[in-house]
Amino acid sequence: MRAITKTFPGVKALQEVSLEVERGQVHAICGENGAGKSTLMKVLSGVYAAGSYDGEIHFEDKLCEFKDIKSSEAAGIVIIHQELALSPFLSIAENIFLGNELSTRGFVDWNKTNLEASKLLARVGLNDHPTTRVADLGVGKQQLVEIAKALSKQVKLLILDEPTAALNDGDSANLLKLIKHLQGQGITAIMISHKLNEIKAVADKVTIIRDGRTIETLDMHADEITEERIIKGMVGRELNNRYPEHTPRLGAELLRVEDWSVYHPVDQTRQVVKNVSFNVHAGEIVGIAGLMGAGRTELAMSVFGHAYGTRISGRVYKEGVEIQTNTVSAAIKHGIAYATEDRKHYGLNLLDNIMRNVSGAALSKLSRWGWVDSNKERLVADGYRKSMNIKAPNVASITGKLSGGNQQKVVLSKWMFANPDVLILDEPTRGIDVGAKYEIYTIINELADEGKGIVVISSELPELLGICDRIYTLAEGQITANVPREEATAEHLMQFMTQAKDQDAR
Amino acid sequence: MTAVSSALHYLTGQLRQIGLFIALIVIIIFFQITTNGITLAPINVSNLIVQNSYILILAVGMVMVIIAGHIDLSVGSVVAFVGAMSGVMITQWHMPWWLAIVACLVLGAVVGMWQGFWIAYFGIPSFIVTLAGMLTFRGLTQIALQNQQISPFPDEFRALGSGFLPDLGGGTSLLEPLTVILGVLATAGMILSDMKQRASRKKHGLEDEPLPWFVLKMVFTAGLILLITFLLASYRGTPIVLIVMGVLMVGYSAVMANSVWGRHIYAIGGNMHAAELSGVNTKRVSFTLFINMGVLSALAGLVFTAQLNLANPKAGDGFELDAIAAVFIGGAAVTGGIGTVVGAIIGGLIIGILNNGMSIMGVGTEYQQLIKGLVLLAAVAFDVFNKRRAKAATK
């Protein structure tokens, strides 16, 4: 791939990125969340059609212009997305040959389908019968089915987007072994991963991407490449004056969470949050740093009224007193608020206007006997529109038509109006331009100065370093460090974020 | 932005509402011409209101259900079931008519609780639960009536469906006085409340509706109410069921706009997850919503039975489809979150006038069905087209 540039409205996702992968190698790509790794792979696999980006793709010395996934697959490039694309109620064999059915005169030849499928399953080391329903398999085995599906398409270059993100340790090790094994059969692989130990285990080369540019490509065999070396490439960004000054005035402890454990709502054997304890004081801004899949959002949403997960255990203390946060309304009543990372799906009613979104979490403050005082509501919402500098002609504007930054301000307004003591902000600046980010940081500081406890979840280390007084690092569902601002550096944090604590530590 | 372009901008935002009103007027004018003036004859207007009342009552409940992202297919069967039970209560159990009415409304609430429980707390999609309800309540109707019809009903009960408010003029005046008084009061109330609202919006600098448009809209609505008043007053006066509908329309519009419950209904239809994460008890809202629908279905069942003076095992057949069509013609979104009570009522009136006009013209029922189907499709296609255009404009 040469000089790939891909722009989305308002953002340059990739700038002149080049990548060279040699036949028969395992090539890792790493970088922070949002660095552009997945976008690059989508360009390579034809998800973004030729013409929607600049630059050239050469595959086996030929210039390729893929119109769609089908044409890249015809060339032998198959991408396996992080979210598996299997149909759960079909059998393994049906999934493998979906869209590519083995048929004679329009009728599926089931004997041939199941026979071919079992041959492919043997290649990936899966013992299950091809007629097993995919829904009955664990995620690890489903991942193997995806790979078998790729093999059925005569894959030459296999792209794996964070293949182990959803797997437990045993399945991960298994998968890495398989990648090595396939390499022996002449299949080239590109693997996106956050986990540096995995990269060290299987990759021949690693390319680091940061802010939509290629930073460097390291040969894992040639030099002595340490994890620190890779981390430096991932975070090495200048910090300039993008954060407002702030001196914290700490008060008493507001919220303490102890021994918090959560299991995945579907796969109930997978522990997503493992014995996490943390606290936040009045006036304090606490950061939670973690890579994608570390369990940050899961932690926050489970504390906020058990809105995520099953088999939740642990204790929550508010100002030293144990409280129950079994439902969202109970959590809100106890003064906890959670502003989601996914505004569009969990934060806003995009069909409705600013006013009704702002008042949504605290209608009781505006109503008597179940009737809303709409004049008061309008005044409140208009007050936030002005003070938060929400760019919209009036509060009757539909939130679905606002920009990301302004939508985020509506979400913040909603929770400020609910007036909680503890505010958990999940990726408060995701998808927001630099100017609006500064405004949001200023608002966060003001809220802390009012004596609220703020928890900021973010995968952007510079952001956490810029605004937090204290930072916890979360890796694979466990807190791996609790670092005060003075001691925190990006390298230091990244080390804790990529390292997993020993499972049996307790 | 200049005043003209900002006014135009405002009007394009209101295109759906304007379109709905224009469609209603065009249809009325069309039938007025093709039926040689029968459509707007006093007796026909009176009949139109009375004969569509139960569909409009159902549409009010249905629009709320659809805004919340649910559907209710059982309303036709519930209408029949409640009608049947009212007959059993009055003629077999010899209950006084007023007690039977109360008991039937309670019965509607119980029906709603039954369906609401499975939908809200058991998590079965409303489509399935109410499809099952459509069958079970039809079956219960037939069991209650033992496949017989019940008739007649006492006059007091029948008044709910086909009665009129007392004629203050003693039947001799040219215009019935009570109707005139009510019509003038309604017009004045509408104008005053609109002006008050506009003034309060203006005070906070939140007004974006151009003044000429505001005046035009008010003159139009006032004209419409006064026209209906005139027509009704020159026939037999105000149908009792019109008062019931008026109360429902004003009451439920206010509930949907300004009550916490109404807000929660829009919130869960607009974004279920966001509503949950804002502390809305989504299960309880869905549950109460179906109780409400059950009570309104029961009311529609009483009105229908009173009107026909007959409890019939086949009653209410297909009412759910008319109510759902009214809601979608009235601009509600299939995915929930969008819709208004007034829109649903206008949608219901459009269907009612189509039925009425085509019947007068002598169009066969097969063509009536065909035309109603195409109108529904056209209305929703217009919505989708509009939405796509709006999206393209913001890009």
Q: What is the CATH number of the domain that holds A79?
A: 3.40.50.300
* CA–CA separation, A89 and A86 (whole Å): 9
Using pLDDT thresholds of 50, 70 and 90, give the confidence band for residue B1: very low
Measured between CB atoms, does A491 come within 8 Å of chain B? no
The kind and range of the H/E element at B203 are helix B177-203
pLDDT tens readout for residues B377-390: 988 888 788 777 76
Q: Mean pLDDT, to the nearest integer, of A392-411?
A: 83
Q: Is the separation of the CB atoms in A389 and A438 below 8 Å?
A: no
Q: Mean pLDDT, to the nearest integer, of A272-279?
A: 89
* CA–CA separation, A32 and B228 (whole Å): 68
Using pLDDT thresholds of 50, 70 and 90, give the confidence band for residue B208: low
**Residue-level pLDDT at B103:** 96
CA A131 centroid distance within chain: 33
DSSP A175-220: HHHHHHHHHHTT-EEEEE-S-HHHHHHH-SEEEEEETTEEEEEEET
Q: Is the separation of the CB atoms in A453 and A279 below 8 Å?
A: no
**Residue-level pLDDT at B54:** 93
Mutate to test the interface with A, among B14, B263, B387, B389 (most CBs of A within 10 A): B263
Residue B308 to residues A506, B143, B149, B163, B311, Cα–Cα distance (Å): 76, 20, 11, 12, 8
Comparing alpha-carbon positions, the chain B residue that sits nearest to A379 is B204
Q: Is the separation of the CB atoms in A350 and B266 below 8 Å?
A: no
Same domain? For A73 and A221 the reply is yes
- Contact (CB<8Å) A346/B259: no
Cα-based angle B99, B150, B364 (whole degrees, multiple of 5) = 115
- Contact (CB<8Å) B266/A349: yes
- Contact (CB<8Å) A349/B201: no
Using pLDDT thresholds of 50, 70 and 90, give the confidence band for residue A504: very low
Q: Is the separation of the CB atoms in B53 and B303 below 8 Å?
A: yes
Three-class secondary structure of residue B318 per DSSP: coil
Same domain? For A370 and A473 the reply is no
Mutate to test the interface with B, among A8, A302, A308, A328 (most CBs of B within 10 A): A328
Q: Which two tokens stand for residue A260?
A: 């918090």
Q: Mean pLDDT, to the nearest integer, of A281-291?
A: 89
Residue A363 with chain B: CB contacts under 8 Å: 260, 263-264
DSSP state of A286: E
Which of A327, A329, A370 is closest, CB to CB, to B260? A370
* CA–CA separation, A30 and A235 (whole Å): 11
Q: Is A476 left (phi over 0), alpha (psi -120 to 50) or beta?
A: left
Quick check: is A245 in a domain? no
Task: Specify the pTM.
Answer: 0.80
Same domain? For A125 and A227 the reply is yes
**A207 vs B111 pLDDT, higher one:** B111
DSSP state of B124: -
For residue A282, the cross-strand partners are: none
Residue the block writes with tokens 């039975």: B305
- Contact (CB<8Å) B271/A356: no
**Whether pLDDT at B117 is above 90:** yes
At residue A19, φ and ψ (nearest 5 deg) are -150, 130
Residue A349 with chain B: CB contacts under 8 Å: 266-267, 270-271, 274-275, 337
Return the number of other C-beta atoms located less than 10 Å from residue B246's C-beta: 13
**If we measure between CA atoms, which residue out of B267, B299, B295 comes closest to residue B280?**
B267
* CA–CA separation, A491 and A461 (whole Å): 9
Residue A334 with chain B: CB contacts under 8 Å: none
* CA–CA separation, A331 and A314 (whole Å): 15
Which of B263, B266, B279 is closest, CB to CB, to A328? B279
CA distance A263 to chain B (A): 19
- Contact (CB<8Å) A372/B270: no
Strands A453-458 and A285-290, sheet pairing:
parallel
* CA–CA separation, A93 and B236 (whole Å): 74
- Contact (CB<8Å) A352/B394: no
Residue A401 with chain B: CB contacts under 8 Å: 394
Comparing alpha-carbon positions, the chain B residue that sits nearest to A415 is B278
Mutate to test the interface with B, among A363, A374, A378, A391 (most CBs of B within 10 A): A363
Average pLDDT score, chain A: 82
**If we measure between CA atoms, which residue out of B277, B259, B282, B267 comes closest to residue A415?**
B277
Quick check: is A344 in a domain? no
Q: Mean pLDDT, to the nearest integer, of A171-185?
A: 85
Which of A332, A347, A379 is closest, CB to CB, to B279? A332
- Contact (CB<8Å) A396/B261: no
Any idea how long chain B is?
A: 395
- Report the number of distinct structural domains present in chain A: 3
Residue B389 with chain A: CB contacts under 8 Å: none
**If we measure between CA atoms, which residue out of B114, B106, B102 comes closest to residue B74?**
B114
- Contact (CB<8Å) B263/A379: no
Residue A307 with chain B: CB contacts under 8 Å: 276-277
For residue A336, the cross-strand partners are: A422
**Residue-level pLDDT at A505:** 37
Q: Is the separation of the CB atoms in A24 and A188 below 8 Å?
A: yes
**Residue-level pLDDT at A225:** 72
Domain range enclosing A320: 251-335+420-506
Average pLDDT score, chain B: 88
Measured between CB atoms, does A364 come within 8 Å of chain B? yes
Same domain? For A202 and A313 the reply is no
Q: Which of A83-87, A168-172, A336-340, A343-347 has the lowest mean pLDDT?
A: A168-172
Residue A316 to residues A204, A280, A304, A307, A334, Cα–Cα distance (Å): 46, 12, 10, 15, 11
Three-class secondary structure of residue B36 per DSSP: coil
Domain stops at, among A419, A441, A464: A419
Mutate to test the interface with A, among B203, B271, B285 (most CBs of A within 10 A): B271
Using pLDDT thresholds of 50, 70 and 90, give the confidence band for residue B242: very high
pLDDT tens readout for residues A413-459: 999 898 899 999 988 887 676 667 788 888 899 999 988 999 999 87
Residues 151-170 of A with CB under 8 A from B: none
DSSP state of A486: G
Residue A375 with chain B: CB contacts under 8 Å: 200, 204
**Residue-level pLDDT at B64:** 96
For residue A56, the cross-strand partners are: A2
Q: Is the separation of the CB atoms in B62 and B252 below 8 Å?
A: no
pLDDT tens readout for residues B273-284: 889 888 889 999
- Contact (CB<8Å) A345/B337: no
* CA–CA separation, A465 and A287 (whole Å): 8
**Whether pLDDT at A184 is above 80:** yes
Comparing alpha-carbon positions, the chain B residue that sits nearest to A327 is B279
**Whether pLDDT at A32 is above 50:** yes
Strand order in the sheet with A157-161: A77-80, A157-161, A188-192, A26-30, A205-210, A213-219
* CA–CA separation, A464 and B120 (whole Å): 41
**Whether pLDDT at A28 is above 50:** yes
- Contact (CB<8Å) B204/A379: yes
Q: Which two tokens stand for residue A238?
A: 């200048």
Measured between CB atoms, does A347 come within 8 Å of chain B? yes
- Contact (CB<8Å) B258/A348: no
Q: Mean pLDDT, to the nearest integer, of A372-385?
A: 87
CA distance A487 to chain B (A): 35
**Whether pLDDT at B72 is above 90:** yes
* CA–CA separation, B258 and B65 (whole Å): 17
* CA–CA separation, A423 and A339 (whole Å): 8
Residues 6+ apart with CB under 8 A from A401: B394
Return the number of other C-beta atoms located less than 10 Å from residue A193's C-beta: 24
Quick check: is A246 in a domain? no
* CA–CA separation, A116 and A110 (whole Å): 10
Domain stops at, among A371, A396, A419: A419
Residue the block writes with tokens 């159990």: B93
CA distance A427 to chain B (A): 16
Q: Is the separation of the CB atoms in B376 and B23 below 8 Å?
A: no
Quick check: is A324 in a domain? yes
Comparing alpha-carbon positions, the chain A residue that sits nearest to B6 is A393
* CA–CA separation, A396 and B315 (whole Å): 44
- Contact (CB<8Å) A347/B274: yes
Comparing alpha-carbon positions, the chain B residue that sits nearest to A385 is B206
Q: Is the separation of the CB atoms in B385 and B22 below 8 Å?
A: no
Comparing alpha-carbon positions, the chain A residue that sits nearest to B279 is A329
Amino acid sitting at position B43:
I
**Whether pLDDT at A326 is above 80:** yes
Comparing alpha-carbon positions, the chain A residue that sits nearest to B259 is A371
Return the number of other C-beta atoms located less than 10 Å from residue B1's C-beta: 9
pLDDT tens readout for residues A198-245: 888 888 888 888 877 888 888 877 767 777 777 777 766 544 556 787
Burial (Cβ within 10 Å: 0-12, 13-18, ≥19) of residue A36: buried
CA distance A131 to chain B (A): 29
At residue B350, φ and ψ (nearest 5 deg) are -60, -45
Measured between CB atoms, does A349 come within 8 Å of chain B? yes
Residues 6+ apart with CB under 8 A from B151: B87, B309, B310, B311
Burial (Cβ within 10 Å: 0-12, 13-18, ≥19) of residue B30: middle
Q: Which of A102-106, A180-184, A376-380, B313-317 has the lowest mean pLDDT?
A: A102-106
Residues 6+ apart with CB under 8 A from A28: A190, A191, A192, A193, A199, A202, A203, A205, A206, A207
Q: Is the separation of the CB atoms in A314 and A261 below 8 Å?
A: yes
Residue the block writes with tokens 């290649």: A123
Mutate to test the interface with A, among B12, B208, B277, B391 (most CBs of A within 10 A): B277
Which of A351, A372, A375 is closest, CB to CB, to B338? A351
- Contact (CB<8Å) B259/A371: yes
Same domain? For A299 and A377 the reply is no
Measured between CB atoms, does A313 come within 8 Å of chain B? no
Quick check: is A243 in a domain? no
At CB < 8 Å, which residues of chain B contact A? 200-201, 204-206, 208, 257-261, 263-264, 266-267, 270-271, 273-281, 333, 337-338, 394-395
Which of B200, B206, B278 is closest, CB to CB, to A360? B278
Cis (ω within 30 of 0) for the bond into B152?
yes
* CA–CA separation, B241 and B254 (whole Å): 20
**Whether pLDDT at A71 is above 90:** no
